[in-house]
A = this chain, B = another copy of it.
């Protein structure tokens, strides 16, 4: 059962290898832009949830605002992300990807998506759902609400260029 001392070393190790390789393709591409994995994460979530505020982004990423600052500033300076004053609350900054930002987010996601497709290649919808359910169950329960499982909720925002 690949278990010693009652510990599931097999999946623990597989998870490490799988995640490392999963992030390796975008990591290499990011180097060309002078970006790192942190930029990828920010860009990913801004692209996925256009119009989210800085506070919301911090809550999703679970990092401090000081950590976000550098990365977000670089993404703004390089015209990948724009900030708009919040319509309801003018203290807030809503974050949107630019066309350039969306293109990069897509380019970074492409090899990851390809890898997933290859890993599921002989699998049907059942297997796919099972993997999704497993991954979701690995997330801390109190955070599962943050996850978009189905098609992305575009939050009814404009989604256009800014």
Contacts and interface: CB of A to CB of B under 8 A. Distances in A.
Contact of A18 (B13, B41, B136): B136
Nearest to A115: B138
A99 to B, nearest CB: 13
Interface stretch (A79-87, A89-97, A116-124): A116-124
Interface stretch (A28-36, A50-58, A66-74, A147-155): A147-155
8 contacts: A7-B110, A12-B44, A14-B136, A14-B147, A14-B149, A15-B22, A118-B137, A119-B134
A8 interface: yes
Q: How many copies does the complex hold?
A: 2
B7 A135 contact: no
Interface residues on A, range: 35 or more
A161 interface: no
A120 B2 CA distance: 15
Given A138-B21, A138-B22, A143-B17, A116 B5 contact: no
